[in-house]
Amino acid sequence: MKKMVATMLTLAMGAGMLTGCGGSAVKQETDSMKREENIVITMVESLTSPDRTAIIREIADKYEQEHPNISIEIISPPLENADNKITQMLMSGSGVDIVETRDLTITQYVNNQWIQPLDQWLDQWENKDTLTSAANSAIYKTGDKAYLIPYGFLWRGLYCRADWFKENNLELPKTWQDIHDAGVELTDSSKNRFGFAFRGSTLGHQYADTVIWSYIGTDLLANPDAGYYLKEKEGETIFTLPETKEALEFYKSLYTDCSPKDSIAWGFAEMVQGFVGGTTAMLIQDPEVIASCEADMSEEQWELIQFPVGPSGQAVFPNGFAGWAMTSFTEHPDEVSDFILYLSNPENNTYFAKNYATIPIHSNAPELDSFFKEGRFSIYMDMAEKGEVYRCATQPMMYNAYATYKTNVDTMYQKWLTEEISTDDLLEWLDDFWKDAYQQEGRKY
């Protein structure tokens, strides 16, 4: 695990000019390309934002100039319901050729046969040898077939209102307990100031996971990619451990003691606005928030520091990724795969990563630009050098049951946060769900 973490972030590097080269190493033109038929490739985004869409559009325009018979259409649903929109499109079996696929959705898409393997094109790609180990891990996330090409990785850091900390003579936090203590100190509801930007809505449970893993450490896990199962007890879950209950009680205190009450309904956008807009003092988020802070805050107002450490001595967070997959019903697989590989070549991927603040997928990215080793982003390099402390774990997404879990888990957490159910009730539900998944599907990690 340590090696994977270090490798992943040592690769975190920068951006260069848009390439004029083709994304595919496949030098042989396909018969369909030779016919020069007019082709429209439709791609749909999941993690949408106007700025990011503009970056993709820029690369797509370059591709269109080099392939006059091909047009790239980009569909960008609103972020809040993008995945639901994508599911509807995939269920219809038509209307989209490339779909943005995330660590949270890839199992569902593969199990439903909505996307198809890219191996025959990837195997011939001239840039495959520079893919990082983290990239290859994502590519083969669901087994021995390549169902997507990732465009980057999102690690979390702690954003702090440096000016608030300075005003109150507080040191920047290093541990989860530090976050709570500073958060309480900085909370003044009469001034609409709160210590922490809590995420109580969609995907809020992932933050509880990071606290739990940081309390128990990854050494107890059967597999970091199946982060709910214990190593020493086959099929048993972490939700039976006393440390997990302690972690959940602590996590709840972040909400009750130093977060806005309406943050029970906050998602990504509200969390970021709460921090940038001056309501909250601390925010745990991905590097993409760097751009928002730089645009809306002064240099002295904020700081990005390393992910907080738990009682285990480790700081554990998901290895978040997303990428591009080809639908199983596309009528132009050769052209679609060529464009996916074009998006993913070192020059274009590094350009995208710099402007979207993700960790690139190619090992030669440092030769193209030093952006990711400088400034705010340098914390990720610092974390990479301490692999014994900064580790990754993820939910057991390889289980078919995960689709049901993802639908229900945030509701259960909200019931717990609002005192509808107890901590023991929540732990029992979590334990029963994943024990049943193991009994039904067996060991899949």
Task: Give the residue-averaged pLDDT of 52-60.
Answer: 97
Domain boundaries, the chain: 37-153+319-361, 155-317+391-439
Higher pLDDT, 398 or 428: 428
* pLDDT greater than 70 at residue 348: yes
Q: Which CATH number fits the domain 155-317+391-439, given the four candidates 3.40.190.10, 1.10.3720.10, 3.30.300.30, 3.30.70.270?
A: 3.40.190.10
CB atoms within 10 A of CB 93: 11
Residues 6+ apart with CB under 8 A from 430: 228, 237, 239, 409, 412
* pLDDT greater than 90 at residue 6: no
End-to-end CA distance of the chain: give it in Å, rounded: 15
Task: Give the residue-averaged pLDDT of 287-306.
Answer: 94
Task: Give the residue-averaged pLDDT of 343-359.
Answer: 93
| pLDDT attached to residue 359 | 84
Higher pLDDT, 53 or 287: 53
On whether the CB atoms of residues 390 and 315 are closer than 8 A, the answer is yes
Per CATH, the number for 37-153+319-361 is 3.40.190.10
Return the closest-CA partner of residue 218 out of 193, 233, 238, 197: 238
Task: Give the residue-averaged pLDDT of 119-147.
Answer: 91
* pLDDT greater than 80 at residue 21: no
* pLDDT greater than 50 at residue 1: no
Task: Give the residue-averaged pLDDT of 395-416.
Answer: 94
Task: Name the band, by pLDDT with cuts 50, 70 and 90, for residue 303.
Answer: very high
Task: Give the residue-averaged pLDDT of 8-37.
Answer: 47
Distance, CA of 201 to CA of 264 (rounded, Å): 6
| pLDDT attached to residue 121 | 98
Tell me what the pLDDT averaged over the chain comes to.
90
pLDDT digit string, tens, across residues 72-85: 999 999 988 899 99
In the three-class reduction of DSSP (H, G, I as helix; E, B as strand; rest coil), residue 340 is classed as helix
Task: Give the residue-averaged pLDDT of 97-106.
Answer: 94
The percentage of residues in the chain with a pLDDT greater than 90, rounded to a whole number, is 74
Distance, CA of 119 to CA of 26 (rounded, Å): 12
| pLDDT attached to residue 107 | 87
Query: What's the predicted TM-score (pTM) here?
Result: 0.73
Same fold, 37-153+319-361 and 155-317+391-439: yes
- Going from the C-alpha of 157 to that of each of 248, 263, 304, 324, 362, the distances in angstroms are 20, 19, 7, 25, 22
| pLDDT attached to residue 32 | 45
The percentage of residues in the chain with a pLDDT greater than 70, rounded to a whole number, is 91
Task: Give the residue-averaged pLDDT of 184-204.
Answer: 97
